[in-house]
């Protein structure tokens, strides 16, 4: 959908570069993202935040440590394979791949996992993304996820009970 919108609304070239090598970098990340960082970042978010608060579940240590290992591996892939020595995923300018990537990296951060600790390359990249889009817009875009901890405390657990079997099957 993002590729369609970029083409339809003639956005600046850096979002989805016309240069084939740069576009391939964007497409490569977008293809990897759902089963790479998305899967692992979301799982950590659920295990650290949603399940303990909404479902009042204790998370087995081996589940949490396995999820954190998977997340760490995905973060390493972003740094070593996608960023390498570039400022952004596709090169010197921000692209839609960076926007998609930063959202996935912020999700576990919102659950209390400091994904930037001991990751200067990832941290510097995130700061470049913030600079490129502007701090106010970046903060606005991530406001809901960054305040999720407080918001889910308002959820009536009885309304979530119908989801318990599926969540247990998927997460535990």
Residues 106-149 have pLDDT tens digits of: 999 999 999 999 999 999 999 999 999 999 999 999 999 999 98
Query: What pLDDT shows up at residue 165?
Result: 86
φ, ψ of residue 39 to 5 degrees: the values are -60, -45
Angle at 39 between CA 69 and CA 45, to 5 degrees: 75
pTM of the model: 0.89
Mean pLDDT of 63-70: 97
Mean pLDDT of 51-62: 91
Can you name the residues that pair with 91 across neighbouring β-strands? 88
Per DSSP, 14 falls in state G
Query: What pLDDT shows up at residue 122?
Result: 98
- CATH numeric code, 26-171: 1.20.1050.10
Angle separating helix axes 96-110 and 20-32, nearest 10 degrees: 30
How would residue 153 be classed by pLDDT, with cut points 50, 70 and 90?
confident
Query: What pLDDT shows up at residue 44?
Result: 96
Give the Cα separation of 31 and 70 in Å (integer).
18
Mean pLDDT of 154-168: 84
Query: What pLDDT shows up at residue 114?
Result: 96
Is 80 exceeded by the pLDDT of residue 1? no
């Amino acid at each position: 959908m993002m590729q369609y919108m970029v083409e339809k609304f003639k956005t600046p070239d850096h979002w989805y570069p016309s240069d084939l090598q740069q576009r391939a970098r964007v497409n490569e990340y977008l293809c990897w993202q759902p089963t790479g960082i998305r899967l692992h970042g979301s799982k950590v978010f659920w295990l650290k935040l949603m399940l303990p608060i909404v479902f009042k579940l204790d998370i087995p240590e081996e589940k949490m440590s396995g999820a954190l290992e998977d997340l760490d591996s995905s973060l390493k892939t972003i740094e070593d394979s996608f960023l390498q020595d570039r400022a952004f995923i596709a090169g010197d300018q921000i692209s839609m791949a960076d926007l998609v990537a930063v959202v996935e990296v912020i999700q576990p951060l919102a659950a209390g996992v400091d994904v930037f600790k001991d990751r200067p390359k990832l941290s510097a990249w995130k700061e470049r993304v913030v600079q490129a889009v502007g701090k106010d817009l970046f903060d606005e875009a991530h406001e809901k996820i960054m305040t999720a901890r407080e918001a889910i405390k308002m959820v009536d657990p009885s309304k979530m009970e119908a989801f318990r079997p599926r969540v247990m099957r998927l997460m535990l």
